Structure 1
Amino acid sequence: MSRTVAALALLAAFAVPTHAEPLLERAQSRGTLNVCTSDEFPPFKTLDAQGKPAGLIMDLIVDLQQQLSAEVGQPLKLQLVQVNPLNRLLFLDQGRCEVLVTSLLDTPARRREVDFASPGFYSSAATVFAPKSTAVPDWQSLRGKTLCAPATSVWVRPFESRYGVQFASFNGTAEVRKAVADSRCLGAMGDDALYNALARQPEWADYEVKLPGQDPAPWGIALRKGQPALLAAVSGIVEGWHAHGVIIDLEQRYGLTPNAWVAQQHARASHE
């Protein structure tokens, strides 16, 4: 049985309240799909000319809402729940949203807290973003230097140990960007995909990504544990995005550098 067929079979139970899983049963009852999401670097997530959320991640959220609505046979209005790196997993665990769609890295440690749809939908690796005038020839040159990073970054401890980097921690990426602009650290450590996109923004023209990425990981859609049918359904939707080249098309639409991991997922999914 294919993943999509299996997901649809599981979703058939959603129409019967006595068999529905708690989160999706509640979503159907209120007619709203709550999606936790956060601020991201443009063009992954930004505001359009009307002040509405837009970008690659927002497009995927809307498609996810539409596909889940079609599969359960009921319109589900989209409700965005704003989160930050410090509260996003807490909100998910509390059931404030059915899914969390951000640039959240799918790691073994996080899988002990939440479930991730498989496969992920994008990928990134750790890099350093700093002024063009700042010399960062290699990772070893960062020993004893201070980088800014979100407090929840999975890369802080490994890079402290591996390269002797010191870190100034902040609640989120907006605070990190402000600290870098204020020269409160040599630069930022973060996702190469995000910072490559940020470097193309006019206000960051004097900054650049300094080093090739290390410790790559996929971005996964996260769900509270104990929702196997919803997890199967979301995984099937993400698999379809890769099979049909949806994410590659969005990269082209937003002028992003092609992501090699996404290309690999497309090649695999389109030939299965």
Structure 2
Amino acid sequence: MLLVAAGVSGGAQAGVLDDAKARGALRVGQDYVPPAYTAGAKFRTPEGVDMILAEDIAKRLNLKLDNVPNAGNAGDGKAAQALKGARADIALVTVDENAVRIGAAADGSVLIPTGYSAGAMAIMRTDTDIRKWEQLKGRTVCLSEGGSYVGRMAARYGAVEKVMRAPADSLLAVRTGQCDAAVHDDTMLKELLRLPEWKKFSAQLPPQSRSMLMIRIPAADNAAIAYARQTVAEWSRGDFWPALKKKWTNAVAFEVYLDQNVPDCH
């Protein structure tokens, strides 16, 4: 789920929160915006926690949430364009931990850590012969649409990527033998492996490429910056993060359970 991204509106003088309140909706940029749910379709929990955080931010403001895709990746020449595009009021972006710089950026924005970080982690059957990342070459690796690691496994290790609709589909494919490994955020996978029904699929490759999820806001918008910092501080207290991880994990595990109509592979 974690890539360097950008996509925050300008108009700092008016204030993005004032603009959002005037229209009755907060526009939050995200790396991946899941397709709208349609009646009769199977519900799927999306990769990452962006949507959950966006919903919480908007709820605290008593505003409707409008999700918009981030316009581009920082460093690829699109970050400044995204800021000028006025598509999002604020954005949730993911930044490699080695490249994190908290504070004002050259493109006129401020990055505020949400408190969530994750790295790529692979899980497999416990009897797998895969012991290191390099052994994924030529092996089928399941990932989910919108995840940060799509494309990386093929480019870095020569793996055969199988991109599924959501984490539940990717993890189900590992259980039924369609994939040799599934790669997702280690923060969530470690929580999933606490469940007894995942003991047989608890072989893992160590996390790599850690990134941080951050809130991106126009640097001159003091009101929005203060609001974001206050929200992040509230997230850090109490059981917000433990409850979020448990909710995500239980939802995905239940989705796998409901759809597994064939036995685990042997």
CA shift digits 1:72-103 (9 cap, x unpaired): xxxx424364x7xxxx326xx686753455xx
CA gap 1:97/1:185 in 2 versus in 1, 3 angstroms: same
Q: Is the 8 A contact 1:100 1:222 kept in 2?
A: yes
2:90 aligned with 1:105: no
| Distance of 1:117 and 1:143 partners within structure 2 | 36
Bigger helix share? 1
CA gap 1:137/1:201 in 2 versus in 1, 3 angstroms: same
2:21 aligned with 1:28: yes
Matches within 5 A, 1:153-168: 153-168=147-162
Determine what percentage of the aligned residue pairs are the same residue.
23
CA shift digits 1:121-158 (9 cap, x unpaired): 31001110223333432223322212112355444555
Q: Is the 8 A contact 1:119 1:238 kept in 2?
A: no
TM-fit CA distance, 1:194: 1.8
Matches within 5 A, 1:67-82: 69=61, 76-79=62-65, 81=67
Partner of 1:246: 236
Partner of 2:140: 146
Partner of 2:250: none
Amino acid at match of 2:236: V
Bigger strand share? 2
| Distance of 1:140 and 1:168 partners within structure 2 | 17
Tell me the TM-score normalized by structure 2.
Answer: 0.55
SS in 2 for 1:200: coil
Matches within 5 A, 1:169-248: 169-201=163-195, 204-208=198-202, 210-222=204-216, 227-230=218-221, 233-240=223-230, 246=236
Q: Is the 8 A contact 1:199 1:209 kept in 2?
A: no
Amino acid at match of 1:31: G
Q: Is the 8 A contact 1:116 1:220 kept in 2?
A: no
Q: Is the 8 A contact 1:114 1:222 kept in 2?
A: no
| Distance of 1:183 and 1:191 partners within structure 2 | 21
| Distance of 1:233 and 1:202 partners within structure 2 | 46
Q: Is the 8 A contact 1:146 1:186 kept in 2?
A: yes
SS in 1 for 2:95: coil
2:110 aligned with 1:131: no
CA gap 1:200/1:222 in 2 versus in 1, 3 angstroms: farther
Tell me the TM-score normalized by structure 1.
Answer: 0.54
The alignment yields a C-alpha RMSD, in angstroms, of 4.6
| Distance of 2:56 and 2:199 partners within structure 1 | 33
Amino acid at match of 2:63: K
CA shift digits 1:240-270 (9 cap, x unpaired): 46667725743455677xxxxxxxxxxxxxx
Partner of 1:119: 113
| Distance of 1:147 and 1:59 partners within structure 2 | 26
Structure 1: tracts of 5 or more residues without a match: 1-12, 41-50, 70-75, 257-272
TM-fit CA distance, 1:181: 3.9
SS in 2 for 1:180: helix
Q: Is the 8 A contact 1:151 1:170 kept in 2?
A: yes
SS in 1 for 2:184: strand
Q: Is the 8 A contact 2:143 2:184 kept in 1?
A: yes
TM-fit CA distance, 1:236: 4.1
